[in-house]
Amino acid sequence: MSSFVILNFVFFQTLWFSSVVGAGGYGLHWLALGAIVPLTIHTWFSPVRRLDFFIATLMVCVGMLLDNLWIQFGILAYPEASFAPYWIGCLWFGLGMTLNHSMAFFRDRGWLGALIVGAFAPVTYLTGQKFGAVTVVDLWSTAWISLSWFALFYGVSRFARGQVADLAVGTEQQAAEAPRRAA
């Protein structure tokens, strides 16, 4: 495992803790925004950074939609908020930044990776509940969270795998053509 992947993992865990415990649990809102900075800077040095930022943006949009739907359906509740708080968006952004790096193991496993991610998705919300960041209103309804994460992770992973493969093929073609252009 490369140091890039390890840093990606550490920066995301820092973001999770800062967002859930700091912003969600204790109201230290600057922590979530501050913790997203190292992950963003780190991703800037990624060989697939354009793809990483695209996926992260997509994950924010879809993730915030999902979290707000779960609030409306009575699955989740956030303290003093009728909508998902901004720090949840930070977490979705951070998750998108990990897909091609520290989450690549799951990305590359297709439906099995998505099944594992989906199965453990409610654990993140239940852990957040322990810190007072969120309330899981109905434990049985977390099945919807699992299904949503499964579908989202499977779809985004398929897209990302295809994009990474296309980038690898393009790089190989450029390398093969370089000697011909030099001659």
State the DSSP string of 39-81: HHHHHHT-TTHHHHHHHHHHHHHHHHHHHHHHHHTTSEEBTTB
Could you report how far apart the first and last alpha carbons of the chain are, in Å? 38
- Taking alpha carbons only, the member of 118, 161, 134 closest to residue 16 is 134
Q: pLDDT by residue (tens digit) across 134-146?
A: 999 999 999 999 9
Which pTM does this prediction carry? 0.89
Least confident of 86-100, 112-126, 155-169: 155-169
Exposure string for 126-161, b = 16+ CB within 10 A, e = fewer: eebbeeebbebeeeeebebbbebbbebbbebbebbb
Kindly tell me if the per-residue pLDDT of 74 is higher than 60: yes
**Residue pLDDT, tens place only, 146-162:** 999 999 999 999 999 99
Domain boundaries, the chain: 3-182
